[in-house]
Amino acid sequence: MLLTVTPNVFAQNKNQSPNIIYILADDLGYGDVKTFNPNGKIPTPNMDKMAANGIKFTDAHTSSAVCTPTRYGILTGRYNWRTPLKQSVLSGYSKSLIKKERTTVADVLKSKGYNTAYIGKWHLGWDWKLVDENEKISDKYDAKAKVDFSKPIQNGPSTHGFDYSFGFCGSLDMPPYVFVENDMPTMVPTKTTVNMDSKGFWRKGLTSDDFDHTNLLQDLTDRAVSYISNQAKEKEPFFLYFPLPAPHTPILPTTEFLGKSNTNMYGDFVMQVDDVLRQVRTVLKEQGIAENTLVVFTSDNGCSPRANFEELQKVKHNPSYKFRGSKADIYEGGHRVPFIVEWPAKGLKNAISDKTICTTDFLATCADITGYKLQDAEGVDSYSMLPLITGEKNDDIREYTVHHSIDGSFAIRKGDWKLSVCKGSGGWSYPKLSDIKKEKLDLPDMQLYHLKKDIGETTNVIAEHPKVAAELKAALKKIILDGRSTKGKKQENDGMEGWKQIQPIIN
């Protein structure tokens, strides 16, 4: 169902390409946003205002239940598990996951005359310059003195289509804590920091003097606002990819937000993320470019247990809303996320869509907006959301959507049916793989849920609907082996040899 309360308004120049801003929160739960969870206890007025002036998608999914893989899918329009990274995430010292020849959203938009920028958390790997090129970094969290921070990185944002870039390589709890601007580290780190507090946690690692964990979210926002202000004076449209490091650990709300949510520190940090949205939307209005700027706001996966669900439950707040599980899981709580699109000039206003979408769909959407023709190897798992955003059509854009958990487990969705090809959560929630082994749990090899009747995924109905399960499994096999889920020529997946997680699917 698509509900439109206010009709869309078109810009004076219908052919003018919109500015595009993609704001990606880190570990924000579906239930943390008031407009998606009316019973939520964390105030999110700016997210709510954005939804009232745009369209919110209630059935939006990340391509993975964890950080790195989702970010890969956003920029490439390709499922993460088609890369050598079949499970888990990269570290701050990992090499680039995106191959040089792989087309990204930034490449597409740059070819259409956009100025392109990335500011924030990268977490897709880039190649640090090593003191000894013959030596490898063996510990993903400790490079010791092996990196030469006085030299530029390679295979980073500039390689993948970004004209300007500023950020750090891994998560905010992963060393090295060093900013890189336009491929060059801003400072050579001379100290080591660590924080073992459960919420403010970050791992021990090299830290540069200009890197301040506590103020980093606002520092990045200031830079993003400055970029928007500067680009507003230019004739060319711009694309800003703004992946936030919050509310992921370290959970460090600034003094202004401490205690403001009346929940816990995580709730306070969510409110600070909400304020980032306020600052971005304000500068767009001040610069007179809000009308023809398309802003996307979403999260890279579900909420992390680090938010302390038990603590939040005491104030009757559930970051996962009605869904089972949390970050890392194959269950809905792992990958169903808040997703809002605001485009005053051409987008629907105060609208709700229950159509299934995926974060991989951003590339095809940008191609559709700008008239870029995708080639066979580009955006192989990306479908355009543009008809849903503008209200031109209300048809399903996806027949199947593939989900992926931290341990590499798969699920596939079609309509109200969801088949998970694993015995448990595939992630951190009970029953995880270690629970199954330790407790010798006798669980079916696969799980089938009818989400309309059972959104909490409480009842596995695979025994009652074997034909549905067989159809979904066959579709998943084809999507994997074809190297794509969109129409076109077959493509190659990387690292097919010894890929254990797909054996139960393709055999």
Dihedral angle sign, alpha carbons of residues 9, 12, 17, 23: negative
DSSP-derived secondary structure for 165-184: EEEESS-TTSS-B--EETTE
Task: Please state, as a whole number, how many other Cβ atoms lie within 10 Å of the Cβ of residue 187.
Answer: 14
**Predicted confidence (pLDDT) at residue 12 exceeds the cutoff of 50:** no
Question: What pLDDT, in 10s, does the model give residues 390-409?
Answer: 999 999 999 999 999 999 99
Taking 80 as the threshold, does the pLDDT of residue 4 lie above it?
A: no
pLDDT band for position 15 (50/70/90)? low
Token look-up 């993320």 returns: 273
Both tokens of 82, joined, read 């088609």
Res. 292: pLDDT tops 60: yes
pLDDT of residue 9: 34
> Which pLDDT band, with edges at 50, 70 and 90, does 110 fall under?
very high
**Domain map (residue ranges) of the chain:** 19-398, 401-482
145: confidence class by pLDDT, cuts 50, 70, 90: confident
Work out the average pLDDT over 25-51. Answer: 98
Residues 6+ apart with CB under 8 A from 487: none
Using pLDDT thresholds of 50, 70 and 90, give the confidence band for residue 218.
very high
Percent of the chain scored above 70 by pLDDT? 97
The confidence score (pLDDT) of residue 3 equals 43
Closest CA to 64 of 80, 76, 41: 80
Fold observed for domain 401-482: Arylsulfatase, C-terminal domain (3.30.1120)
- 228-238 mean pLDDT: 96
Q: Rounded mean pLDDT of the chain?
A: 95
What are residue 295's DSSP bridge partners? 21, 342
- pLDDT band of residue 8 (cuts 50, 70, 90) is very low
Per-residue pLDDT, 141: 87
pLDDT band at 139 (very low <50, low <70, confident <90, very high): confident
What confidence score (pLDDT) does residue 474 get?
Answer: 98
Residue type, 358: C
Asked whether residue 6 carries a pLDDT value surpassing 50, the answer given is no
pLDDT tens per residue, range 119-131 = 999 999 999 999 9
Residue 388 has pLDDT above 50, yes or no: yes
Structure confidence at residue 448 (pLDDT): 98
CB-count burial class (<10 Å; 0-12, 13-18, 19+) for 1? exposed
Residue 128 makes CB contacts below 8 A (sequence gap 6+) with 93, 137, 143, 147, 148, 149, 153, 169
275 phi and psi, to 5 degrees? -70, -30
Q: What is the pLDDT of residues 250-268, one digit of tens each?
A: 999 999 999 999 999 999 9
- Angle of CA points 47, 48, 53, to nearest 5°: 100
Q: Would the pLDDT of 450 be above 90?
A: yes
Whole-number Å distance between alpha carbons of 4 and 258: 37
Q: What is the pLDDT of residue 134?
A: 84
Least confident of 133-142, 230-239, 334-343, 431-440: 133-142
Please say whether the beta carbons of 171 and 70 come within 8 A: no
19: β partners: 293
Cα–Cα distance measured from residue 303 to residue 335, given in angstroms and rounded to the nearest whole number = 9
Total count of residues recorded for the chain = 507
- CATH fold of 19-398, please? Alkaline Phosphatase, subunit A (3.40.720)
pLDDT at 10 over 70: no
Give the DSSP per-residue string, 354-380.
---EEGGGHHHHHHHHHT----TTSST
pTM tops 0.85: yes
- List residues bridging with 22 in a β-sheet: 241, 296
pLDDT value of residue 286: 98
